[in-house]
Structure 1
Amino acid sequence: MSIKWNNFQTINYMKICFLALYNFVNGMAYDIMKEQAFSLMTSSKLWQWTDLCKAYLVEAKWYNSGYIPTLEEYMNNAWISISAPVMLTHCYFSSTDCITEEALECLEKYPNITRWPAVILRLIDDLATSSDELKRGDIPKSIQCYMHKTGASEEIAREHVKCLISETWKKMNKDLAAADSPFHRYFLETALNVIRMALCVYGHGDGHAGQDSRSRSRVLSLLVDPIPF
């Protein structure tokens, strides 16, 4: 009876999560249709929620089996599981006055303008949080994957990850300078702000889950406290 009840609770828990997500997406689609006469319900324009859940499932399988992926395997999944592509897709819908089919088709293929911020966010996050997350129970991150494959020390692995961040920054800057982007300049700036946010939140440790006063004071000074004149 206890096992059946636990299974029942788990099923209901997931139904609640799905219903909340379903209502949120439909609500956003309703607002877009009302304001721009553009229907998201007749297409698969919010496919990234499916891909995000699949990425979470891959990580869950790795964790439960004790599998340590290569750095390449990890990053092929982790830049999606960091959820930046989902965030940026929603930003496009909410920040663009004139949604175009060209831009949506580009988003569906995961263009570099959403990929590079996701890669950098993931790597910066890993540098700041991987040690604590492993202690709490999580899969190895980019640092540990590199160490496992190459036998490198943690210090060397961290330097390698920093080099990957630097190289990805260069790719991001190159794509921002491209003249043939189907996206409005405001959306490009939003993609860039994802990286700025990552540097702000994780540049000095775990500014998301950490409870230190420094993170709190940064948030207060940025969003709450008035700017002195």
Structure 2
Amino acid sequence: MACLTDPSLSEQRVELTKPISLIYIIDDIFDVYGTLDELILFTETITRWDLAAMGQLPEYMEICFKALDDITNEISYKVYKKHGYNPVQSLRNAWTSLCKAFLVEAKWFASGHMPEAEEYLRNGIESSGVHVALAHFFFLLGHGITKETVELIDGNPAIISSTATILRLWDDLGSAKLIELCGNLVHFLVQDENQDGKDGSYIHYYMKEHRYSAAEEAQKSAINKISDAWKRLNKECLCPNPFSASFTRASLNLARMVPLMYSYDDNQRLPSLEHFIESLLSESVPTEGVY
């Protein structure tokens, strides 16, 4: 709801919960559950989008791929029925790119390869899942679907990749707490995320690449890159672009929401987000004076 605030976008909000949930499920498959051989086979199956190959997959992967195919076809049909365009190939391509990016990270972990921070970030922009989510929203919205805009969406344009950069780096800052802001000086306390997955992070790889750098230097580099990504995103939003105002606003709102998503406390909870959710569900909305 933070991204799609317009009440008229209720249907799009509901539909987006499906691919977003699948992003998290597939992320866990790559980070926690799958062996490298299984992940390679899973990625190849999705790349070919081959239902006949499902029988070669482990049962949990087979169930996931079937759900992915069903949801992709369901959303594509709804878009076609409402807007006259079938986005199934674009959506399949987005999922393929995501899984290939996940597989790159899995191979790094399995081989012990330590990518440079920039190499990690380039792949991490894709593995953030932002492209998949915003591609689905673009087609569900149905505004300005042309050959030009479809090709742009397929190519992960700056309005998407900038938002993905912001999310990836905020995520990689871990349990970052903003404790002091004075001019351009930002201090962070960072705690490692407590999870059993295989995730690396920009901070980790930066410190490995720059052997004598402290965590604060790596954090500063990440913050600078977030700032640069915001500049690119603002440029995309303020300059004429072929996308609708609703799509542009959703990309911007997603980037705005990111700090709230990763404002963890000492107990790895999100008190600010919990407060907003509690307020949304339990407090009445004033209607006096609303027309």
Question: TM-score, normalising length from structure 2?
Answer: 0.68
1:99-118, CA deviations, whole angstroms, 9 ceiling, x for partnerless residues?
Answer: 22221011112110110000
Q: Does residue 167 of structure 1 match 2:228?
A: yes
Shift in Å, 1:219: 2.3
Cα pair 2:158 2:236 within 8 Å, conserved:
yes
Q: What residue number does 1:119 align with?
A: 165
The answer (yes or no) to whether the contact 2:174–2:193 under 8 Å persists in 1 is: no
Q: What does residue 80 of structure 2 align with?
A: 33
Match of 2:202 in 1: 142
Establish whether residue 217 from structure 1 lines up as the match of residue 275 from structure 2.
yes
**Match of 2:132?**
86
What does residue 69 of structure 1 align with? 115
Q: 1:156-214 deviations in whole A, cap 9, x for unaligned?
A: 111111111111111111121221x1110110000001111212211x227xx944555
| Contact 2:264/2:270 (8 A) holds in 1 | no
Q: Does 1:106 align with 2:152?
A: yes
Residue 52 of structure 1 aligns to a residue whose secondary structure is: helix
SS in 1 for 2:243: coil
Change (3 A) 1:212 1:124: closer
Q: Report the count of equivalent residues.
A: 219
Q: Which amino acid aligns with 2:77?
A: Y
- 1:157 is matched with 218
Q: What's 2:28 paired with? A: none
Unaligned runs of 5+ in 1: 1-6
Gaps of 5+ in 2: 1-37, 39-54, 176-189
When normalised by structure 1's length, the TM-score is 0.85
Q: Which residue is 1:189 aligned to?
A: 249
- Determine the C-alpha separation between the residues in 2 that align with 1:158 and 1:31: 43
Please give the alpha-carbon distance, in whole angstroms, between the structure 2 residues aligned to 1:97 and 1:165: 29
Tell me, yes or no, if the aligned pair for 1:70 and 1:145 is still in contact at 8 Å: yes
- State the distance in 2 between where 1:169 and 1:186 align: 18
> In 1, distance between residues paired with 2:281 and 2:172?
25
Residue 17 of structure 1 deviates from its aligned partner by: 0.3
Contact 1:134 1:140 in 2 (8 A): no
TM-superposed CA distance for 1:138, in Å, is: 2.3
Q: Which stretch of structure 1 is more off in the superposition, 126-135 or 71-80?
A: 126-135
Alignment RMSD (CA, Å): 2.6
Q: Which moved more, 1:120-129 or 1:131-140?
A: 131-140
